[in-house]
Chains A and B, each alone.
Chain A
Amino acid sequence: MPEKPNLLENPAHEPSETELVQRVQDGEHDLFYELIQPYERRLYAAAFAILRNESDAEDVAQEAVLKAFRHIRQFRSEARFSTWLIQITVNEARMWRRKGHAHQIEPIDDRQDESGEYQPREFADWREVPSEALERSEVRRKLTEALASIGQIYREVFVLRDMQQLSIEETAKALDISPASVKTRLLRARLMLRELLAPGLGGGWSSKLSFEKGVKPW
């Protein structure tokens, strides 16, 4: 049986995620951080999306990582490791909120009827993707505020699907809802955010943010 390379002494060997999982499951605990490190930002983002408080999100992300470590042997490779981690984080965040740790006030529209038809009210034109605008803290702040202002059920789906890049099915599994509900909430979340942000990002917030109209990005 070939000897396993020592990753700590031989960093040139870059194991696959599957190999890392297997080795941690076999007892090489020191490798666990290497396994979760690529996802730590995403775990924080998932927790923050639910709790909307930096301190709570950090605590929950840490708890989720510890829980993942303690239950690493239960991970089965049918799911992506990142999805498994995010699912644990979402559960931790929800539990945290239920226990009353979370410092937050639910948005008014959190109980909106998700089955109702959504009628866009704002038709501000906003064609070109202003990716360079993300360099501006003002824009990032506006985006964060907008996301925080939509209802919890929409925010969770939006974050997992559009920020964490989970599939519809993975999002449904992580949130324990049906794929149809994911699609409905996702549509609502995207349209609400567009309505909140299009007027500003179309030039309303700052003269520096006046984007030229161009070719459609898709």
Chain B
Amino acid sequence: MVVNCEEVWREISNYLDGDVDPTLRAAIDGHVRGCKRCAAVLDGTNNIVELYGDERMVEVPIGFSYRLRRRLEDNMPGSRRSFFGWMVAAVAAMVIAGGFEVARSSVFSRPQPRSEHAQLASGVPPDLMVVVYPEGKTFHVSTCPFILDKTHLRTIAAHDAESQGYVPCTRCMKKYLTANLDPPAPAGVNNDV
């Protein structure tokens, strides 16, 4: 059997895949041995298959695996990040926040004040940072001149101070007292902390 160049080119792909019968394979081998052009085409085509078949040819974007895994986890049933999970978390957060607001607004939820003569606070921003000391009964701004024990001061949120029974200083926290009848705070007191 003898094949010409066109027949070789037509069968090169099948030849490389081992998908030609032995007779045709022998004929192609014989032709290529004596034909530089077909040898070049055959060599080059084989190199193409080898190169593109190399795993190094596939370059994925940086972080591809991480993002894929995250996306998959987000869509897993029961995932904490799944839509359902987010909804449950959001509802739970609203319930907690609502409960917190109710608790804050209720006089029954207030802790026992450290001072039986204290005036209760009203409208203190819960995240306002104030200072307290262990034996004290009131919470202050850090610059208040009426702090008695400055060596054991600790800074906490006003909400925490209230929950621990501390009441507003009648001087530096005057504006947050429920019965605001005192004269203005002394000059130099910074209520903004």
Contact = CB atoms under 8 A, between A and B. Distances in A.
Contacts of B55: 41
A191 B46 CA distance: 10
B10 A124 contact: no
Contact of A191 (B19, B41, B77): B41
A65 B9 contact: no
Contact of A65 (B14, B57, B59, B72): B72
A158 B45 CA distance: 12
Given A163-B52, A190-B48, A140 B9 contact: no
B163 interface: no
Contacts of A175: none
A135 B64 CA distance: 21
Interface of A is mostly: helix
A115 B10 CA distance: 11
B68 A147 contact: no
Contacts of B57: 45, 134, 140, 143-144, 163
Interface in A111-128: 117-120, 123-128
B43 A125 contact: yes
A97 interface: no
A212 B114 CA distance: 92
A130 B9 CA distance: 23
B126 interface: no
A197 interface: yes
A69 B50 CA distance: 33
Nearest to A191: B45
B53 interface: yes
B43 A216 contact: yes
A110 interface: no
A134 B60 contact: no
Contact of B51 (A62, A69, A124, A129): A129
Contacts of A143: 51-52, 57
Interface in A153-206: 158, 162-163, 165, 168, 183, 186-187, 190-191, 193-194, 197-198, 201
B135 interface: no
Q: Which 4 pairs across A and B sit closest by C-beta, in order of nearness?
A: A187-B13, A194-B44, A198-B44, A45-B58
16 contacts: A33-B69, A40-B64, A42-B58, A58-B67, A66-B72, A119-B9, A125-B36, A126-B40, A129-B51, A131-B51, A162-B52, A183-B14, A191-B12, A191-B13, A194-B45, A194-B47
